Amino acid sequence: MTMFCYQCEQTIPGQACTTRGVCGKQETTANLQDQIVQAVKEIGFYNHQLRQSGRKDAEADQKTLDFLFATVTNVNFDDARLAGILDAARKIAERLKRETGTMCPGKEWITIPLRRENFGEDAASLQELLMYGIKGTAAYAHHAFLLGREMDEIYGFFAKALGSLAAGNSSIDELIALCMECGGVNLKAMELLDNAHTEHFGHPVPTPVCVTPKKGKAILVTGHDLLDLEELLKQTEGKGIHVYTHCEMLPAHGYPGLKKYPHLAGNYGGAWQDQHKEFAAFSGSILVTTNCLQNPQGYEHRIFTTGCAAWPGLKSIADRVPGGMKDFSPVIDAALAETGFTEDGEEQTLLVGFGHNAVLGVADKVIDAVKSGKIKHFYLIGGCDGAKPGRNYYTELAEKIPKDCVILTLACGKYRFNKMPFGDIDGIPRLLDIGQCNDAYSAIQIAVALANAFGTDVNGLPLSMILSWYEQKAVCILLTLLFLGVKNIKLGPSLPAFISPAVLGVLVEKFQIAPISTPETDIKTTLAG
């Protein structure tokens, strides 16, 4: 068996990973993930039948989220764990098959090359666009679920869309409609997660974060799961350990419910792709709560995974029992066994915490600054980071954006520029860090409020969205923006390999989406528009 995966930006341009993933995914792992995706589509097929007859299945609904999250890029590389997931998924599909008395087709086109043969390149391209949108949405719904939030509409859509992918009976137009619907459902998933975060941890407030280490024992937490971080902070209280955030954990510092812990000491390192160097240099233990995980090199004894994240041979922290907490003592013991940092670094800070509540709290000031011409334009430079040299574009872009423009940012791509001095415009910082990728919800709230204040829509604002993508969460966010009718998005560093030329043509025609060019050209065209 060979593999065929082209779900992320890192794959060979215009092609796919066919022998081993650029991410480090082995052929066996890719094949297990293909089979999990197939089993989840079957669950969706039967679940949709059940729902149409007025019944619901909580196990099918909830497990769909976890199973799909395990197939997102850089989450789970552990074949033994994936085989267990596959087994569990097949058991649910079998049970639903018995309960519905129906038969799901689709096993004959389990891989992408087979789907291309069966359905043609364009339908296969749209099927994958939908599938990756669903995966990203599932990841956000999974986080909301862990904080006690669910939404039946999300489950109903998953059952319908996965069922249609299993049956392979949707036309090109129906697939396009499902992709747009996925964008709308993802907006609801991000809203659900935003509500869960802000109710549990409070609304983020502007907060300076130290980005240099402090003397003492240390734990580094990476990924997106704020609940894991909170439980770790509780369990490390009074133990003389500093807890640092890494990559997508940075926005944690803005939440009152997390920043109140004095031992949440700061942020360490940059985005995920630098982890080999940065984790090796970190003098403590490391906890990986979600993507993006890479093969550990030399620090295997002091790195731990939890939740959906897994790497073969790495120690994993078990899930919490209902009503309880995860037990992070292995992570704490590993931190205490390390030397820790032997001296304080020279203090340097950056600002986080500009969620919708904080920004809309100063909306009057922002609106006045636009009206008086002090703020000419807003740029949303958001999305994922990655290893490609072409991603330097985003650093140069942020650097070259004129001083009378404000930059909104979110997700891990910001590490390309978030330590630069941007200054402010009449007290409004020129760089506003909105948060994690899922906080695209916040960015949308801000844009909609500004549009209302100016009596226009989001496309009528002096706002340009220049996005960087890498994995499937970025795909669902892009679908959300398209669902909202946002036009003229610039996307880079390269266009998705799974988008066929004809599908790209539709996106260009309907939404004027375009690849990034050079920072100078893109600034010129966005300011002229």
Residues that bind ligand SF4 (CB under 6 A): 5-8, 10-11, 17, 21-23, 25, 73
b/e map 190-222, b = 16+ CB within 10 Å: bbbbbebbbebbbbbbbbebbbebbebbbbbbb
CB nearer to ligand SF3: give 162 or 288. Answer: 288
For ligand SF3, which is the closer residue by CB, 162 or 247?
247
**Which of ligand SF4, ligand SF3, none is residue 464 near (CB under 5 to 8 Å by kind)?**
none
CB nearer to ligand SF4: give 35 or 285. 35
Return the number of the residue (23 or 303) whose C-beta is nearest ligand SF4.
23
Query: From the CB of 93, what's the least distance to ligand SF4, in Å?
Result: 24
Which one, 125 or 436, has the nearer CB to ligand SF3? Answer: 436
8 contact, one of ligand SF3, ligand SF4, none, CB 5-8 Å limit per kind: ligand SF4
In DSSP notation, 59-123 reads: HHHHHHHHHHHTTSTTTB--HHHHHHHHHHHHHHHHHHHHHHT-----GGG-SHHHHHHHH-HHH
**Span near ligand SF3 by CB under 6 A; candidates 166-174, 178-186, 443-451, 467-475:** 467-475
- Residue whose CB is nearest to ligand SF4 in the complex, by number: 21
How far is 430 from 441, CA to CA, in rounded Å? 20
Q: How many CB atoms lie within 10 A of CB 234?
A: 11
| 248 touches, from ligand SF3, ligand SF4, none (C-beta below 5 to 8 Å by class) | ligand SF3
Q: Does 198 sit near ligand SF3 (CB under 6 A)?
A: no
Q: Assess 384 for contact with ligand SF3 (CB under 6 A).
A: yes
The binding track of 199-238 with respect to ligand SF3, each residue x by CB under 6 A or -, is -------------------------x--------------
How far is the CA of 48 from the CAs of 57, 261, 328, in angstroms? 10, 45, 38
Under rule CB under 6 A, residue 471 binds ligand SF3:
yes
Q: Which does 25 bind (CB under 5 to 8 A by kind): ligand SF3, ligand SF4, none?
A: ligand SF4
Shortest gap between Cβ of 505 and ligand SF3 (angstroms)? 26
Determine which residue in the list 7, 291, 418, 526 makes contact with ligand SF3, applying CB under 6 A: 291
> What does 436 interact with, of ligand SF3, ligand SF4, none (CB < 5 to 8 A by kind)?
ligand SF3
- Reduced to 3 states (helix: H, G, I; strand: E, B; else coil), residue 136 is helix
Please identify, among the stretches 173-181, 297-305, 327-335, 466-474, the one whose residues bind ligand SF3 according to the rule CB under 6 A: 466-474
For 363-392, give one letter per residue: b (16+ CB within 10 A) or e: eeebeebbeeeebebbbbbbbbbbebeebe
Q: Which position among 119, 272, 282, 328 is part of the footprint of ligand SF3 (CB under 6 A)?
A: 272
Residue 105 phi/psi, 5° resolution?
Answer: -80, -175
Structure tokens at 478: 């892009």
Binding of residue 491 to ligand SF3 (CB under 6 A): no
Choice between 397 and 437, CB closer to ligand SF3: 437
CB 162 within 8 A of CB 211: no
**11 vs 500, beta carbon nearer ligand SF4:** 11
Partner from ligand SF4, ligand SF3, none binding residue 480, C-beta < 5-8 Å depending on class: none
Q: What is the DSSP string of 262-325?
A: TTEEEE-S-SGGGHHHHHHH-SSEEEE-SS------S-GGGEEEETT-B-TT-EEEPPPPTTS-
Q: Give residues 386-445 in contact with ligand SF3 (rule: CB under 6 A).
A: 411-412, 436-437
Residue 424 phi, psi dihedral angles, 5° rounding: -145, 165
Q: Give the Cα separation of 479 and 188 in Å (integer).
A: 12
39 vs 523: CA distance, rounded Å = 46
CA–CA dist 159, 139 (Å, integer): 16
Q: How far is Cα 254 from Cα 239, in angstroms, rounded to an integer?
A: 23
Look at residue 474 and give the partner it binds from ligand SF4, ligand SF3, none, a contact being a CB closer than 5 to 8 Å depending on partner kind. ligand SF3
Three-state SS for 405? strand
Binder of residue 440, out of ligand SF4, ligand SF3, none (CB less than 5 to 8 A by kind): none
The count of residues interacting with ligand SF3 (CB under 6 A) is 17
Cα-based distances in Å from 126 to 76, 324, 491: 25, 41, 18
Distance CA 286, CA 12 (A): 30
Site residues (vs ligand SF3, CB under 6 A) = 74, 224, 247-248, 272, 291-292, 384-385, 411-412, 436-437, 470-471, 473-474
